[in-house]
Amino acid sequence: MIGLWSYKTKKHAKHRGSVAVEMAMIAPAFFLLLIGVTEMCLMIGAQQLLESATYNTSRLAKTGYSATGQTQAQSVTQILNTELQSYGALINTANVTMTEADYNSFSAAAAGGGTSGYGTQQQIVVYTVTYPWKLFTPIMSTLIGTNGFFNLSSKIVVRNEPFG
């Protein structure tokens, strides 16, 4: 039994340390892939949150709602920021931009142009919310980013309710 053990030890001695070398070769690519997947998951989560916040904000805005002592623009911005803050420090609400353009019909909205604003009763309003996502890894920045950022964007079209 002792002789067999020493035979196996001598036979595999030339392969000793190969696992460490293989790990050193594979580890950078593996961890880069792992970090890239994590970053993509965070971006997808932020995009979903952006779309949800845009939807909820536009639902409220189309009713003509404004909180007591605030304009409609202040109320809408406050609600948007409150929803986006649920992602914590990953979304800086100071960098979020929201544009709104009103139209008289859906066909006019498809053609573009429009007037900046929340519109009046029964008007079509296009809300666009964008956020410059800061990329964490340099490889993602070179693949999908511009100057280390990737613009997340959400757009929704609604018809204002009869409010008054």
What is the pLDDT at residue 10?
A: 56
What is the pLDDT at residue 162?
A: 86
Say if CB 121 and CB 163 are below 8 A apart: yes
For tokens 């929340």, what's the residue? 118
User: Whole-angstrom Cα distance, residue 79 to residue 142?
Assistant: 34
This prediction's pTM: 0.79
Beta strands in the chain (DSSP E): 97-103, 115-116, 124-134, 149-159
What is the pLDDT at residue 110?
A: 87
Q: What b/e string do you get for 125-163 counting C-beta neighbours within 10 Å, with b at 16 or more?
A: bbbebbbbbebeeeebbeeebeeeebebebebebebeee
Give the residue from 105, 156, 153, 110 showing the smallest Cα distance to 129.
153
Domain ranges for the chain: 2-159
Residues of the chain with pLDDT under 50: none
pLDDT tens for 32-47 read: 889 888 989 999 999 9
pLDDT tens for 82-108 read: 999 988 888 999 999 999 999 999 899
